[in-house]
Structures are given as C-alpha cells and as structure tokens.
Amino acid sequence: MDEQQRTARAGRAHSAAERLAGHDVVGVAVTWVDNSGITRVKTVPSAKLESAAAWGIGASPVFDAFLLDDSIMSGRYAGSPVGDLRLHPDLDRLTVLAAQPGWAWAPADRYTQDGAVHPQCARSLARSMTDRLRGAGLEASMAFEVEWTVGRAGTDEFVPACSGPAYGMTRLVELSAYSRDVLTALAAEGVAVDQFHPEYGAGQLEVSVAAEDPVAAADTTVLVRETVRAVGMTHGLRTSFSPKVTAEGVGNGGHVHVSLRRDGSSVMTGADGPFGLTQEGASFTAGVLARLPALLAIGCPTTASYLRLIPSHWAGAFACWGRENREAAVRLVTGAVGSGSWAANVEVKCFDGAANPYLVVAGLLAAGLAGMDESAELPPPVDVDPASLDDDSRAERSIAPLPTSLTEAADRFEADPALAEALGVELAATIVDLRRADVALMAGKSPDEIVALTRWKH
Ligand code: GLU
Ligand code: MG
C-alpha cells in the first residue's frame, strides 16, 4: 500500500461516506473471518471511513489464533499479543445493511503496518489464488449455498422455530413474515438470490445465490449470513450456521459450486471427457477430489463438523464424484439439457457452515490448480450411495471414506505440499495448530456437549 493508493482510497471513501449519509448510516462494520470460521468485526463511525480506507483500522494479529470459544491458542505463527495489523475496508463491496438500520458493511483485507498484505489474510489469499488461475487463462465463478437453523431466542438449547415437515409449505407459512423479510433484505443489499426453501432438518432453511467471482462469492456468503442473523433477531429467533445444532439428524452444509471458463467457454461441459468435461475441467476436479481429505481441515474445521460428515446424511462423506449424486463429496451438476454452457459446475458437498469461506476459495482453487499441473485423471464416476456398497466394492471403484475426525483431517492437510505452498508456511501452520487445539478443547466431551459448545458460535 503506497501513498498514491492511500490517497485514492481516501477520495473514494469520502464520496462513499456522503452516499451512506443519504441512507442514514452512522457506522460501518468492517469484518474478516477468522481461521475458526467466526466473522469478527471492528466498526468506525461513517465520518471515519475515509481514514479507515486510507490507513486501515488497527487489529491485533492474535485473532489468527482464536478458537471458537474465544480462547487463544499458542501457535507457531499466531497467538502472540505483540504487533498490529491494519484492516482496510474494500469499498467496492461497501453495502448498506438492510436489516441493521444505521449500519453499513464492508469486508476487510488485512495489511501489516508496513503496508504489505498480511501473510495470514485469508481474503487476500483467495484473491491471489483467483489471480493465479487467471494467469493460467481461466476465470472461476463460485457460489456458496447457505444452510441454517432457526431456533427460539432466550435459550441456549435448540428449540426449532417451526414445526412443519422437511421442505414443507407449512414451514413457510409458519415463518412467512420472517422469510419475506429475509428476501426483502437480501434484495435491498443487491444479493442475487436464486432460491429460498425449508431444508430437511428441524427449523432448517436454505438460500442459494448466483455464482460470481470467487472473492465476491465469499463476501456474499458473509453478507447473507449476517443479514439472516439480523432478520432473525427482529423476529425473536436465533440463527445457527453450525455444522450440527443437535447431535442427531442432518447438519448445516456449506456446499460450494465452482465453474471455470476459458476464453468465455465453460470447461465443465461440451467436450469429450466424462459427461462433457474438458481435459482441464476433469483435471481441476480430480485435483480437488484427491485433496479433499486435506481440504477438510479448511472446509470442516471443527470437532462438531465430523458429527455432520457421516454417510447417508447428504453431506458427501465419501471421496468420490458422480453426476447429480448427492452422497458423493463432489457432485457434477450438468444442468438441464441445453443449459450446460452456463449451468454446468462442480459442487463440493462435504464442507460445512463453520468454514471460513475465503480459505475455502483459496484451498479449492489451489487444489484444482495442482490437479491441472499434474494432468490428474478422474476415477470412474459413482452413481449409487457409496454407503450402500461393501468395502470391497468401494475399493474396486476407488471410493475412500473421508476423514472421520478433525485430527485425521489436520494430519492429511499437514502432509499436502501443494496446499502448504499455496497457503504459505505461516497460514498453513496456523491452521494445523488451531485444528489440534480444537481437538484438545473438545477432548473427552460427548457429542451432545460438543454440539452445545459449538451451536451458537457460527
Ligand atoms: N444439510 C445437508 C448437509 O449437511 C445438505 C442437504 C442438501 O443436499 O442440500 O450438507
Ligand atoms: Mg441444502
């Protein structure tokens, strides 16, 4: 960040602050997501936006070491109380918050006091991975599905806010005003909602949004979640994006859709690879599939995540891929006949609502790029629930169960050189240290206790 950039940012922030005043905004929430998947915030009054844009807002690097219970682990490259970072709000994403009158929001990039990008800034990393892909001639689009559960406020227990059946119209009737307010707020914020529906679990709902640039997609999922939470508050409801709100039943996924284009044409369709994939589309997908066990340290970052990631719960607990197979961790979505050129994409189903979306973007793109570098080949597709096969049949089809614990995922992540290179020594070490600290935090606890400690954190 040099002087010229600071001056340009200050100028833009000045006009932005005038625009915010027209919307009666008094403060701007500047957020980043920590490595435990929790959105943290600092705010400035609108009058200070100009200085925040130019000089950043002070924030300790110790946040890199936060666990989900706000305890601070002592990591190899995180956890020291010494030092300071600068949070620079991204003015391109400045949004008036529709469900929090008087507030606007912007996601932050984190810089050092020297004006360099902080080596553990997940948002900057997501951007640099997107740029790396662009350097290889490919434009990525991504979208996060947001699943959540609504419970009654006033208790730490989970009391579902509706009693209608899964996908039932009854639920929409019960939560009609709330659901309308969710859609109204997201529209006012410029979020391109594709669909909203009651999900399978008790009190569970879902919003899906249009695909966009990967960093924008991660920003959007933060905005959607905090908007949903804020709307819930006004209806006396409590919102959870936690992987599990009860030890039984299905959890909250954080499925991610990825598509790639070269020279404007999708590499996910129209070619002679399996189901029309191009060679590079297949290699990208194979790179992701091969690294899923390691990527779980990013996408399923809590001990509770592994209570969700179980067979026959639509969470994709097996490392395999298939066309429209909702029990495969990687689902190829080809779209309806005739729509493939814009609709074809790869959906990673195993990740959950506790994941930092910026790390998910960075990790997936790094894994896909590694697959392309290696000209990786996809194993045969799977068209059944892998849980319905015996061990021998699964082995014949190269279907492996994904890690069943955070310890296993952290070990696999630590052993993956491509991910370590992409994330950098410091961030990769911090992720491993944090996951092991989470395991220690939850050691000896029952599933009910783990769920209770995790339920209202994300
Ligand atoms: N809630 C499921 C999960 O944990 C996903 C349901 C669906 O396929 O949308 O990922
Ligand atoms: Mg869903």
Check residue 337 and give its pLDDT.
Answer: 79
Fold entry, domain 128-454: Creatine Kinase; Chain A, domain 2 (3.30.590)
Q: Which ligand is nearest to the CA of 253?
A: 1
**3-state SS, residue 358:** helix
- Does residue 342 carry a pLDDT above 90? no
Residues 6 or more apart in contact with residue 70 via CB below 8 angstroms: none
413 close to 419: Cβ distance less than 8 angstroms: yes
pLDDT tens for 291-324 read 999 999 999 999 999 999 999 899 999 999 999 8
Check residue 386 and give its pLDDT.
Answer: 94
CA distance 271 to 281: 10
Residues of the chain with CATH 3.30.590.10: 128-454
For residue 252, the CA-to-ligand 1 centroid distance in Å is: 6
Both tokens assigned to 108: 């932050």
- Relative to the CA of 206, which ligand 1 atom is closest? 9
> Atom 4 of ligand 1 has which residue's CA nearest to it?
253
The neighbourhood of ligand 2, an ion, using CB within 5 A, equals 206
- Does residue 1 carry a pLDDT above 90? no
Ligand 1: residue of 208, 302, 313, 352 to mutate (most ligand atoms within 8 A of CB) is: 313
Q: Which ligand is nearest to the CA of 251?
A: 1
Q: Which residue, chain included where needed, has tokens 């249009």?
A: 210
Check residue 336 and give its pLDDT.
Answer: 80
Ligand 1: residue of 147, 326, 348 to mutate (most ligand atoms within 8 A of CB) is: 147
CA distance 19 to 25: 9
Check residue 307 and give its pLDDT.
Answer: 97
Alpha-carbon torsion (327, 328, 331, 337), positive or negative: negative
**3-state SS, residue 220:** helix
Q: Which ligand is nearest to the CA of 207?
A: 2
- Relative to the CA of 253, which ligand 1 atom is closest? 10
| Average pLDDT for the chain | 96
Mean pLDDT across 59-87: 96
CA distance 203 to 214: 29
Q: Where are the beta strands (DSSP E) in 132-264?
A: 138-144, 146-152, 193-198, 204-209, 237-240, 256-262
**3-state SS, residue 57:** strand
Both tokens assigned to 237: 């409801």
Angle between helices 406-414 and 425-442 (to 10 degrees): 160
Could you count the other beta carbons within 10 Å of the beta carbon of residue 142?
A: 28
What homologous superfamily does CATH list for 3-117?
Answer: Glutamine synthetase, N-terminal domain (3.10.20.70)
Mean pLDDT across 115-120: 96
pLDDT tens for 246-277 read 999 899 999 999 999 999 999 999 999 999 99
68 close to 302: Cβ distance less than 8 angstroms: yes
C-alpha dist (Å) from residue 330 to 186, 256, 291 = 28, 10, 12
Mean pLDDT across 50-71: 96
Mean pLDDT across 380-405: 94
Ligand 1: residue of 250, 302, 312, 324 to mutate (most ligand atoms within 8 A of CB) is: 250
Q: Which ligand is nearest to the CA of 329?
A: 1
Residues of the chain with CATH 3.10.20.70: 3-117
Q: Which ligand is nearest to the CA of 316?
A: 1
For residue 271, the CA-to-ligand 2 centroid distance in Å is: 29
Ligand 1: residue of 349, 350, 360 to mutate (most ligand atoms within 8 A of CB) is: 349
For residue 222, the CA-to-ligand 2 centroid distance in Å is: 17
Both tokens assigned to 91: 């003015």
pLDDT tens for 413-433 read 999 999 999 999 999 999 999
Write the single-letter amino acid at 187.
Answer: A
Q: Is the pTM of this model over 0.75?
A: yes
For residue 349, the CA-to-ligand 1 centroid distance in Å is: 7
- Relative to the CA of 243, which ligand 1 atom is closest? 4
Q: Which residue, chain included where needed, has tokens 């890199």?
A: 64
CA distance 434 to 74: 9
Give pairs for 330-333: CB < 8 Å, separation 24+.
330/285, 330/288, 330/289, 330/292, 332/268, 332/275, 332/277, 332/285, 332/381, 333/257
For residue 223, the CA-to-ligand 2 centroid distance in Å is: 18
Check residue 339 and give its pLDDT.
Answer: 83
Pocket of ligand 1 (CB under 6 A): 147, 199-200, 250-251, 253, 308, 314-315, 326, 349
For residue 405, the CA-to-ligand 1 centroid distance in Å is: 19
